[in-house]
Amino acid sequence: MNETQDLTHFSATGRARMVDVSGKDETRRVAVASGLLRMQPATLERIRAGTIAKGNVLAVADVAAVMAAKRTPEMIPMCHSLPLSGVEVAFAEIANADGEGCVGIKAMVTATCVGQTGVEMEALCAVSAALLTIYDMCKAIDRGMRIENVQLEEKRGGKSGVWLRNSTPGGLA
């Protein structure tokens, strides 16, 4: 059996294609993605204090996340254009995340639409853009920052229903 037969983004001859979703029912679709940006404690303190020269880091990252979600089909070749009905962005500080004295900012993005296909890629692109924006705005003082664990946390809607990272077979802790 050809490995590409199980992947819907490949034709029977193995060529990449955009999946036809016209036969699917429109349902409410929700996806939640997260990611972590590790940094030095002094960098986090400057973000918290609002003393980064480029401006309010988290406010800019919030806008970047929304913009990325809206433009996902321009970055991911086989991704459908979706009428997003909402993009929520949240940030949380992570203290001593790994015992190395590193701290970080965790980004969570929830993307929502009513459509024929899911919004996982929009949520993942949004988280990535938020973390990259924080990196960009702080790189002059901390080039060693690391983006880690960009991942889907939850997906709801469509024929496959609900998928939760920690409670679904195949989901990772």
SS3 34: strand
SS3 86: strand
Q: Which residues contact 95 (CB under 8 A, 6 or more apart)?
A: 103
Are 171 and 165 in contact, with CB atoms under 8 Å apart?
yes
Distance CA 23, CA 72 (A): 22
Instruction: Please state, as a whole number, how many other Cβ atoms lie within 10 Å of the Cβ of residue 14.
Output: 11
| Active-site annotation holder among 62, 98, 136, 142 | 136
Instruction: Please state, as a whole number, how many other Cβ atoms lie within 10 Å of the Cβ of residue 23.
Output: 6
Is 136 an annotated catalytic residue? yes
Q: Which residues are catalytic?
A: 136
